Amino acid sequence: MKVRAWMTPNPWTVGKDQTLAVAHRLMRQHEIRHLPVLHGGALVGLVSQRDLHLIETLQDVQQDAVPVEDAMSPEVYAVAPGDDVAKVAAEMARRRLGSAVVVEKGKVVGLFTTTDALLLLAEVLRRSRRPVTKKPPSAPAPARAEPAKAGKGAAVVPARKTAGRSAVAKMARAGRAPRPS
């Protein structure tokens, strides 16, 4: 099966110079969580709902003044429409990605998300009519919290790489600190 058959075609995009407020508005209006970021029609990054929320935890962040470029991840997992969907989904799981941007001849033509992958899984299971009783050994195990030690506080969850960390570091260097909780 090819990505083309399961991707969301012609996804909404946002320009790197547009504001966080514009990105939020697009996400809310179209009920989406990922926006490919373009500059001059070329893919330069990806911004997720999580990236936007992370940036908003910093002091003095004005959604209508901060450009999307400050929140986006410049490292994008880009695939072709003819790529094998099983390989793409396995790579997304291995890297713990929420989406892959589908690019053809230098243009964004689709987005393959975890939701698309779950729709594919549901269809495959429906067609097979065979019960699935166990996860295959090649599938990555989910991160689990370690049990808290008596009197030592909350459980520790392994840290994961977050797309917006470079933006957080830039803002921290610019004198913006995280908001107190």
Indicate the DSSP class of residue 166. H
Q: How far apart are the first and last CA of the chain?
A: 47
What is the Cα–Cα distance from 31 to 27, expressed in whole angstroms? 5
Report the DSSP beta bridge partners of residue 19.
67
What is the Cα–Cα distance from 35 to 60, expressed in whole angstroms? 24
Overall residue count recorded for the chain in this entry? 181
What is the Cα–Cα distance from 109 to 92, expressed in whole angstroms? 18
pLDDT on residue 64: 78
What is the Cα–Cα distance from 39 to 20, expressed in whole angstroms? 15
**Do 43 and 76 touch, CB atoms closer than 8 A?**
yes
pLDDT on residue 93: 95
pLDDT tens per residue, range 153-170: 333 333 334 444 455 445
pTM, two decimals, is 0.69
Per-residue pLDDT of the chain (181 residues; tens, 9 = 90+): 999 999 999 999 999 999 998 999 999 999 999 999 999 999 999 999 998 888 878 777 788 788 999 889 999 999 999 999 999 999 999 999 999 999 999 999 999 999 999 999 999 988 887 666 666 666 555 554 444 333 433 333 333 344 444 554 455 445 554 444 3
Strands 99-104 and 78-79: parallel
* Single-letter residue type at 65: A
pLDDT on residue 65: 83
At residue 32, the 3 state secondary structure works out as coil
Tokens at residue 79, please? 């695939």
